[in-house]
């Protein structure tokens, strides 16, 4: 019996019990592995930090999760982007001006997003304004 730490696409962490890694793979492929919190079938394995503290290391238990982890990371990333985009104010091309006003405390701090040219981005970084560039996948949700 193997216990895998699983993470669903919504970020719920839970344990799954399987006869073997193959059993896990087979059940997952059939859609039999789902999140107990939200029912999502898009789950992936995560390496467990706590488990290795309590017992002997079990390298075999966390072996071939690379592919799952990558797909999951991409999903979590797009989810994070979603959050970021829905919780920030779109100031469009006013972004550099607005970011400066916030940085120099001329206006109350808030999350903003928008566009900046390479030059504007560079000069904001030079001024020490915390800006991050995100490669945002094309989606009509955010237009």
Should residue 12 be labelled a site residue for Zn ion when binding is judged by CB under 5 A? yes
| CB 81 within 8 Å of CB 104 | no
Distance CA 24, CA 64 (A): 12
**Maximum separation of any 2 CA atoms in the chain, in Å:** 60
For 80, the 3-state DSSP assignment is: helix
Q: Which H helix or E strand runs over 41?
A: none
Residue whose CB is less far from Zn ion, 15 or 90: 15
Residue whose CB is less far from Zn ion, 6 or 116: 6
Residue whose CB is less far from Zn ion, 42 or 120: 42
| CB 102 within 8 Å of CB 130 | no
Should residue 85 be labelled a site residue for Zn ion when binding is judged by CB under 5 A? no
Distance CA 103, CA 112 (A): 12
Scanning 28-36, 56-64, 100-108, 128-136 for contacts with Zn ion by CB under 5 A, the matching segment is 28-36
**Distance of closest approach, residue 19 Cβ to Zn ion, in angstroms:** 23
Distance CA 77, CA 139 (A): 14
Residue whose CB is less far from Zn ion, 79 or 110: 79
**Distance of closest approach, residue 14 Cβ to Zn ion, in angstroms:** 8
Q: In this chain, which of 5, 6, 7, 8 binds Zn ion, going by CB under 5 A?
A: 8
Scanning 6-14, 24-32, 77-85, 124-132 for contacts with Zn ion by CB under 5 A, the matching segment is 6-14
What is the token pair recorded at 5?
A: 């730490």
Q: Enumerate binding residues for Zn ion (CB under 5 A).
A: 8, 10, 12, 35, 37-38, 40
């Amino acid at each position: 019996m193997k216990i895998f730490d699983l993470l669903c696409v919504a970020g719920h962490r839970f344990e799954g019990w399987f006869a073997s890694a193959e059993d896990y793979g087979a059940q997952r492929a059939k859609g039999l592995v789902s999140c107990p919190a939200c029912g999502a079938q898009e789950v992936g394995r995560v390496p467990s930090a706590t488990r290795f503290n309590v017992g002997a290391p079990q390298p075999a238990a966390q072996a071939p999760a690379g592919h799952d982890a990558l797909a999951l990371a991409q999903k979590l990333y797009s989810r994070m982007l979603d959050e970021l985009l829905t919780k920030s104010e779109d100031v469009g091309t006013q972004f550099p001006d607005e970011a400066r006003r916030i940085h120099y405390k001329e206006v109350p701090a808030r999350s903003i997003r928008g566009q900046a040219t390479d030059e504007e981005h560079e000069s904001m970084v030079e001024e020490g304004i915390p800006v991050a560039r995100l490669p945002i996948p094309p989606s009509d949700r955010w237009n």
